[in-house]
Amino acid sequence: MTMETNNINYNKYETTLSKYNTKINDHEIKEAVDALISKKVAENHTKEIEESIYSCIDLTTLNYTDNDESIIKFVEKINAFENEYPNQKNVAAVCVYPNFVQTVKNTLEADNVTITCVSGSFPSSQTFIEVKVAETASLISWSLIFVLYLDRVVSYLL
């Protein structure tokens, strides 16, 4: 990416942001949030909305310390959720690094929870595009068996 490209992107964002009042302080934000909470929490604190929110969650672990043991413990919590909260729908998916997909597949027993993995050196995405492409291509061919969803990050303006 050239300096000129960076300037174009910066100007594009500055132009967009100039349409909005971005000169607000913490006190104004707190007042606005408090007003929303007092006005909207009661009408939105329903079982239907709670279930809808849970059904959108990709429960994710992307820690550099992840290992098979920690992934198994993580997934066992998802498996136990239905027994601990029988009136609540489980999360939509469990998301891990690619090397733990098989561990999740072997451990996951919960119904209607899909397996997701990241790609393209996510979350940092700080590597060569060739590495991202190779990893993503491998996962796409592999995912026909193991993974229902694949999250990826591709740098803007490659």
CA angle 59, 62, 68 (to 5 degrees): 90
Q: What is the mean pLDDT of residues 14-30?
A: 88
Q: 133-156 pLDDT, tens per residue? A: 898 888 888 764 455 555 554 444
* pLDDT at residue 50 greater than cutoff 80: yes
Helix (H, G, I), strand (E, B) or coil at 64: coil
Query: 57-158 — its CATH code?
Result: 3.20.20.70
What is the pLDDT confidence band of residue 158, given thresholds at 50, 70 and 90? very low
- Cβ neighbors of 61 (< 8 A, separation 6 or more) are 70, 71, 74, 95, 96
Q: Do residues 90 and 111 lie in contact, with contact meaning Cβ atoms separated by under 8 Å?
A: yes
Q: pLDDT at position 88, please?
A: 87
Per-domain boundaries in the chain: 1-45, 57-158
Q: 0.75 exceeded by the pTM? A: no
Mean pLDDT of the chain: 84
Given a cut of 50, is residue 83 above it in pLDDT? yes
Buried/exposed code over 31-48 (b: 16+ C-beta within 10 A; e: otherwise): eeeeeeeeeeeeeeeeee
Cis ω on the peptide bond leading into residue 86 (within 30° of 0)? Answer: no
What's the angle, vertex CA 93, arms to CA 124 and CA 101, rounded to 5? 65
